[in-house]
Amino acid sequence: MERKEEVALLKGQAEIWQHLFAFADSMALKCAVELRLADIIHSHSVPITLSQIASAIDSPSPDIPYLSRIMRSLVYKKIFTEHHPSDGGETVLYGPTHTSRWLLHDAELTLAPLVLMENNQWQLAPWHFLSQCVKEGGIAFKKAHGFEMWDFAARNPEFNKIFNDAMACTTKIMMGVLLAEYKDGFGSIGSLVDVGGGTGEMIAEIIKQHPHIKGINFDLPHVVATAPVHEGVSHVGGNMFEAIPNANAILLKCVLHDWSDEHCIKILRNCKKTVPQKTGKVIIVDIVIEKDNDDLFQETRMVYDLLMMAHTTGGKERSELEWKQLLKEGGFPRYKIIKLPSITSIIEAYPE
């Protein structure tokens, strides 16, 4: 075997090892969030010792050697920093990073609830059924739990809360980007319905910045039942496959990627019945897959497509060509894509 081929094989082996144990990074991240390591470290103005971290963990007797190994992994992944004293002493100090800020529990912008949700045993189980789905079709989540995810959430209040908390945290992140990059898009809208709006955070923030809009938060009855009161927003329970409340415009944030083309066409046709034919529009906030995109979020977009396969009822991420076809069949022959500094883009769709 030539030296060049040996090196290539060795590199290939190393890459498979990395992919093989990629789940361990997720588990270390989950551990960090559960122990509130970012909160502890960020609460100090200077880097702190392992003992200081341990003393702030909610436990009468934390295992320091275990904690040390978790911290070593998180430092290696550049989630925290490690400082060695200049006097040559052995006491290591741990500090925060821009990355660890996204693991804070009480921060306005955080990914901590999403870390807990995606690494929860209920959400991990369906991943074990992907090969079965390839062989025989079907829905991975249903194979794992006996119900599709939305039905499972309706029957399981604990899962429903974990899921809603995770959706609320990602909504806040996307909301900031949307309000900054699309502010002109809301100017001429008199009424807006957020379809699949969860507990209403997204529409509430839009109304706060654009108080002339009449806001409607629309989701399944068990979801809006737990929604807080938001000024200028009315909560409506229902089923988007049956009917959508009337409005000048409709917001679909990370909704269509949860569903098959057939389901999406039903939703879009209901949207078409709802918005004015000449002036109405649908604002879709979702991923657009581009093969040649190499921005910060491209790898995550590709993973999201598998995530849809694991958790949803035929959901998937779509290319522009796939979006175009879907919109056309749903009754929206014209569209415009607005790129965002985010995982998602805006697809503005018009009924004629």
Give the pLDDT confidence of 315-352 residue by residue, as tens digits.
Answer: 999 999 999 999 999 999 999 999 999 999 999 999 97
**Confidence label for 89 from pLDDT (cuts 50, 70 and 90):** low
Which residues form the catalytic set? Answer: 257
Give the pLDDT confidence of 154-172 residue by residue, as tens digits.
Answer: 899 999 999 989 988 988 8
Q: How many CB atoms lie within 10 A of CB 287?
A: 24
**Confidence label for 1 from pLDDT (cuts 50, 70 and 90):** low
Please tell me the pTM assigned to this model: 0.87
Q: How many CB atoms lie within 10 A of CB 185?
A: 16
How confident is the model over 87-106, as a mean pLDDT? 90
> What is the CATH code for 111-350?
3.40.50.150
Q: Where are the domains of the chain?
A: 1-103, 111-350
Report helix angle 3-20 to 22-34, nearest 10: 30
Is 292 a residue whose pLDDT tops 90? no
**Confidence label for 44 from pLDDT (cuts 50, 70 and 90):** very high
Query: 3-state SS string over 235-259?
Result: EEECCCCCCCCCCCEEEEECCHHHE
CATH architecture observed for domain 1-103: Orthogonal Bundle (1.10)
Give the pLDDT confidence of 129-143 residue by residue, as tens digits.
Answer: 999 999 999 999 999
Which DSSP state fits 295?
S
